[in-house]
Structure 1
Amino acid sequence: MANDIQINLNKFFENPSFSGKRIGVALSGGRDSVALAYALKSADIPLIAINVEHGIRGENSLKDSKFAKDFCKKYDIPLLCFSLDVPSFCEENGYTTEQGARILRYEIFDKVLDEGKCDYIALAHHADDQAETIFMRIIRGTGVRGLCGMKEVNGRYIRPLLNCTREDINAFVEQNSLPFVEDETNADTAYTRNFIRAELSRIKEKFPYLCTSVSRLCQNANEVCDYIDQNTPSLKLENGEVKVSVKYMDGSLEGKELVLKAAKLLGVCQDIEQRHFPLVFDLAKAQNGKRIELTHGMCVHKEGENLVFSRQNPTCANAIDMPKTKFEVRDFDDFGVSVKRSDRKEYEAQKGKGALFIDGDKVAKNAVLRYRKDGDFIEKFGGGSKSIGDFFTDKKVPLRKRDSLVLLASGNEVLAVFGLEISKKVAIDEDTKNVLKLAKK
């Protein structure tokens, strides 16, 4: 069983796409990541380890990071270490601990990739992790796409051990006498994943082929989704909208898939439920001008022979605080926009070409990302201020699009309209040190 790890890994890296590439391995110090790092090192694959200390578990978290340093020193693996303050980030930006940790961790990974320190990030997910993920999705009522599971290769992220079981990894670690640390929270079944892990462990005692069966399910689901993708019309996002011909909105599987495709293009990748499909199909039969609202600010208009999907303001309660901690890129998927830390060089190169840049230090502490509401106004560059409605009229923004434009606002004062204009109040000047780039995704 222990040899299965090295055999699987060697087979995975036979792919010519990885030839000569440097792999960054996410190293927490746990059993799985230690096994992956050691296997990569043993296979003479160009390697760098990345350890992220999240600032969540106090002294235990710091001890785990020290272990990662000692492990890499012992096995001569280059190491990059990062420390984060996840609790503060979550408090300031309204995320759960798990959400915040993942956002900041992947922000670090993306930065390492973008800086060219490695070509891929290897994650230590294995077959049992896949089974846990699938069962969690089933409990939440997933559709066929949710059954596709995690992929071995997903862009710049790879999972070389996805076909190996937890038993394979345990045997590999034992055979090679590898040290590792245990995260004490993994035993807390108050967490959904930990509870499912414990239950699946008992199920595997009676059905030891569980992971193989789940893997086969994922493969079948991927084949179904590939077939659906190949046999449904392609869609495109233009000016924040996705148009779908009403002829497809007939209650069929094809119609449902097109609704999901449109939602994904608008940045809505979850919470499209079965109850939403009949609403869309009924709208296709309604008169022109009718509209419905779905979820995450997504609405659908009937226009001639098309349904037009777009994002708009569901309620002002969905406002999100402007991030105040250090970051490189922050994606706001609910709004379909991003805020990137930039510099004057990029600003000088791109100003006047459609990109929006602001002075981050001029943004009020109470600033939020939201949609428009009554009483909003913006300070013009030519002097004076205008209501946001008059401003949109001057900019010839269609009425149906105005509620979908994302604003950076402090109270009723609009500091920026993503994709359109910024207020004079946050303009960059010769004293600017904190340049932020605002972009629509």
Structure 2
Amino acid sequence: MERKVLAYIKQNRMIGKKDMVLAGVSGGSDSMAMLHILKELQEKLDFTLRVVHVHHGIRGKEADRDRSFVENICRKWQIPCTVYCYDVPGLSREWKLGEEETGRIVRKEAFQREAAVCGMKIKIALAHNQEDLAETMLHNLCRGTGLRGLCTMRPADGEIIRPILCLSREKITGYLKEKKIPHIQDSTNLSDEYTRNRIRHHILPMLEQQVNGKAAAHMAETAARISQAEEYLTQQSCQVLREFQKNNGYYFTEKFFMEPQIIRIYALQQAMEQLAGRRKDLTAVHYDKVLELYEMQTGRRISLPYRMEARRDYEGVRLFRYGEEKSAGVTNQAHESSDIRTGKTVCEKESAGLEWQIRIPGTVTSPLGIFTAEIFSYEGQKIEEKKYTKWLDYDKIKKNPHIRTRRTGDYMVINAQGNTKKLNRCMIDEKIPSEYRDSIPLIACGNEILWMVGSRMNERYKINPQTRKVLVLNYQGGNENE
């Protein structure tokens, strides 16, 4: 078993020498098998191993039992262990989210906090197995998906690794018995309340019993082939796409529309993701509408998520973001466009005078872009701010922030002493061209501007040693690498 996992790790280049591997361990059968295997392979692969356990505050004494179990095992096996405790029911009510989604957020935060403490290159090991992969494929297939959705659970995906994805639950159970590895049962896994559990308890077993006993293994093999096909199509479409990149956008001429349809769709995926800075919320509907635009008359255009627009002109279809058409050499050929998100006709200045309340936590889609808000407790973590991500002192924000453009009377606090300056003056100081000032997204509380997106933020809300809660705002439309 360990040799098989070792070969799988090497084949997928999961762990390098001197890496720090943070293993997510709940105490259940899968995570305990993964932890034991990683411990046995640690010397051969020369990596550092730590455990992260998240106490969700949901299952009372059972959750306390899980925590004690994991801590005792780690102490016995001499593996450093950090437990992160959250009141998920309370946070769920506060954030107005379901407990499942809240749990996902706090687990992500726990790994981020541990990574910040480690201060080195990390890998996050998750204990998914073949059946987990099969359940995910079935779930996504039933909801509707492309190739990506059929191969989302990959052996290695950035810092996420899945060392036992090559193992079936049956093999894992046998390994636990053979090695006499203790483990515990999470009662929520027995409930049919969640869709994934219904697939696990009823649909997948029926496939294995009545169709093929190795259904999950065959689906894992298929997912690997789909992943290879998806990577190949992405590479091919990127090569095609280079020819049509123009300044700050893309200009798809007749030559592009002569390419095979699958290459056109993949090229549009890449183009729109590059302009948006994200892939979330971009769907087949958007790609199809852009392709259909080529068959329409000159002057037709559509509005897309993340402040993007596609426009038909005499020689082809232009794709760009609002506010960047001038620098891309695009002329204003029409005053109205069809918004495929709502089916309504919208004006270029549809956002003027309007505002959208930030959901904390949550995501808000607006003509000015998509904003995601998260909250976490501040314990001196390093602030890794980017151009389109800001950390703010949440306790100092007395009203719910809104997304909008500038208005008369707007101002910002510009220094620690609390001095203020008119927003227009701040924009001049930031050398923002006058023609773009009305289109810049702002995060505002009344007339006080907390953040000019892509530029400066209000000094009043910067993180300091007294900060207790942090509000992280992310603008999903800018270049996140800046």
TM-score (norm 2): 0.72
Segments of 5+ residues of structure 1 without an aligned counterpart are: 324-332
1:421 aligns with 2:456: yes
Q: Within 1, Cα distance between the matches of 2:223 and 2:402?
A: 37
Give 1:274's aligned amino acid. A
1:48 aligns with 2:50: yes
SS at match of 1:128: helix
Segments of 5+ residues of structure 2 without an aligned counterpart are: 324-347, 363-368
1:158 to 157, 161, 166: 161
1:205 aligns with 2:209: yes
Q: How far does residue 192 in structure 1 lie from its aligned partner after superposition?
A: 0.7
1:227 to 222, 232, 247: 232
2:371 to 335, 357, 371: 335
Q: CA, structure 1 residues 139+271, in 2 after alignment: closer, same or farther (shift >3 Å)?
A: farther
CA contact (8 A) 1:377 1:386 kept: yes
Q: Which residue of 2 aligns with 1:106?
A: 108
Give 1:211's aligned amino acid. A
For residues 23-51 of structure 1, the C-alpha deviation after alignment (integer angstroms, 9 at most, x for no partner) is 22111011100111112223344422211
Q: Which residue of 2 aligns with 1:328?
A: none
Q: CA, structure 1 residues 141+362, in 2 after alignment: closer, same or farther (shift >3 Å)?
A: closer
1:132 aligns with 2:171: no
Q: CA, structure 1 residues 391+343, in 2 after alignment: closer, same or farther (shift >3 Å)?
A: farther
CA contact (8 A) 1:32 1:169 kept: yes
Q: How far does residue 402 in structure 1 lie from its aligned partner after superposition?
A: 5.3
CA contact (8 A) 1:287 1:302 kept: no
Q: How far does residue 291 in structure 1 lie from its aligned partner after superposition?
A: 4.2
Q: Within 2, Cα distance between the matches of 1:370 and 1:58?
A: 39
Q: How far does residue 122 in structure 1 lie from its aligned partner after superposition?
A: 1.4
Q: How far does residue 276 in structure 1 lie from its aligned partner after superposition?
A: 2.6
The 5 Å alignment of 1:374-413 reads 377-379=410-412, 381=414, 385=422, 395-396=432-433, 398=435, 403=439, 405-413=440-448
For residues 101-146 of structure 1, the C-alpha deviation after alignment (integer angstroms, 9 at most, x for no partner) is 2222122213323424773221111111100111111011001121
Q: How far does residue 409 in structure 1 lie from its aligned partner after superposition?
A: 1.8
Q: Greater CA deviation, 162-171 or 21-30? A: 21-30
The 5 Å alignment of 1:219-368 reads 219-233=224-238, 243-247=249-253, 248=256, 252-265=261-274, 266-284=276-294, 291-295=301-305, 297-302=306-311, 306-309=318-321, 316-317=355-356, 319-321=358-360, 334-335=370-371, 360=393, 363-368=396-401
Give 2:71's aligned amino acid. K
CA contact (8 A) 1:359 1:433 kept: no
Q: Within 1, Cα distance between the matches of 2:167 and 2:147?
A: 24
SS at match of 2:207: helix
Give 1:365's aligned amino acid. K
Equivalenced residue count is 415
Give 2:167's aligned amino acid. C
Q: CA, structure 1 residues 194+358, in 2 after alignment: closer, same or farther (shift >3 Å)?
A: closer
1:12 aligns with 2:8: yes
Q: Within 1, Cα distance between the matches of 2:87 and 2:79?
A: 26
Q: Within 1, Cα distance between the matches of 2:106 and 2:393?
A: 20
Q: Greater CA deviation, 362-371 or 157-166? A: 362-371
TM-score (norm 1): 0.78
Q: Greater CA deviation, 58-67 or 122-131? A: 58-67
Q: CA, structure 1 residues 336+264, in 2 after alignment: closer, same or farther (shift >3 Å)?
A: farther
Give 1:257's aligned amino acid. Y
The 5 Å alignment of 1:41-190 reads 41-45=39-43, 46-114=48-116, 115-116=118-119, 119-190=122-193
Q: Which residue of 2 aligns with 1:28?
A: 26
Give 1:396's aligned amino acid. P
Q: Which residue of 1 aligns with 2:36?
A: 38
Q: How far does residue 398 in structure 1 lie from its aligned partner after superposition?
A: 4.5
SS at match of 1:258: helix
Give 1:414's aligned amino acid. I
For residues 282-335 of structure 1, the C-alpha deviation after alignment (integer angstroms, 9 at most, x for no partner) is 44566787542334x443143866311469998855632379xxxxxxxxx943
Q: CA, structure 1 residues 268+300, in 2 after alignment: closer, same or farther (shift >3 Å)?
A: same
CA contact (8 A) 1:152 1:159 kept: yes
SS at match of 1:231: helix
Q: Within 2, Cα distance between the matches of 1:163 and 1:14?
A: 12
Q: Within 2, Cα distance between the matches of 1:371 and 1:287?
A: 33
Q: Within 1, Cα distance between the matches of 2:22 and 2:427?
A: 51
Q: Which residue of 1 aligns with 2:222?
A: 217
CA contact (8 A) 1:121 1:158 kept: yes
Q: How far does residue 181 in structure 1 lie from its aligned partner after superposition?
A: 1.5
Q: Within 1, Cα distance between the matches of 2:298 and 2:63?
A: 58
CA root-mean-square deviation:
4.2
